[in-house]
Chains A and B, each alone.
Chain A
């Protein structure tokens, strides 16, 4: 699968470049100390509140590219079957790697919990197109099958330019 390998390389770059945007404010040095973490875990009520810093970081992440996937693992090594299926579909659809960013929620526990609150969606993966929440894996699959996803991605002009239409790399 040619398109997939091209995507992967780009995905990694985009993801790592933009991920630092998120992980910096989302995991301050305070939150990474064990004491803070256990306190955080114990205070359930507090855990459900999305802090301003986390919200800002997620807002930035969502806006970091026209197509954004919050997933478990990376595009090349997804850590969950649902994340794998989602990334494969985006690859099949021919999403332009330059217009895509992936965020690994396993790298940041605040992002992992925060994104659920932010989207009001209980599971990962989560797909955003043009800052709009599209859905999780089942919705991505069903939109892929019905042709809705192809239509949406085309409308948003986020597909890679087809070969022969210029733009060589």
Chain B
């Protein structure tokens, strides 16, 4: 459970995204949650922070983004930001959230482009 977890914020992110996509009958082909907080621990804004869970990078690949309403990255980001609204607003909550949101097809293209560049 989240209460005994050492990564309660990460768990919350995973739970909220997974639950919402399940509700929408959408696939989750990839959900990576990287905690980059240690990279920012010395930042001025983190001076009073005791949380080790402030900076996250989320990679989400889902067919939910194939819907025309999610054609734009802005709409995809708003969708995830909306799910995590309270967690970001809360004092000492999520301070930074990097998002990479792709459809399975876009991920494939991305991988292919990367391989071609390598």
Determine if A138 and B81 form an interchain contact, defined as CB atoms under 8 angstroms apart: no
Interface size of A by CB at 8 A reads 17
Contact residue range for chain B?
Answer: 10 to 19
What does DSSP make chain A's interface, helix, strand, loop or mixed? Answer: mixed
Contacts of A138 in B (CB 8 A): 73, 77, 98-100
Q: Closest CB of chain B to A123's CB: distance in Å?
A: 6
Which residue of A has the minimal Cβ distance to B57? A138
What does DSSP make chain B's interface, helix, strand, loop or mixed? Answer: helix
Determine if A136 and B44 form an interchain contact, defined as CB atoms under 8 angstroms apart: no
Query: Ordered nearest first, which 9 A-B pairs have the shortest CB separation?
Result: A122-B88, A135-B74, A139-B73, A122-B81, A138-B99, A138-B98, A142-B73, A139-B74, A123-B96
Q: A123-B88, A123-B97 are known contacts; what are 10 more A-B pairs with Cβ within 8 Å? A: A80-B45, A82-B96, A120-B78, A122-B85, A122-B97, A123-B96, A138-B98, A139-B77, A142-B73, A143-B73
| B interface with A by C-beta (< 8 Å) | 43-45, 73-74, 77-78, 81, 84-85, 88-89, 96-100
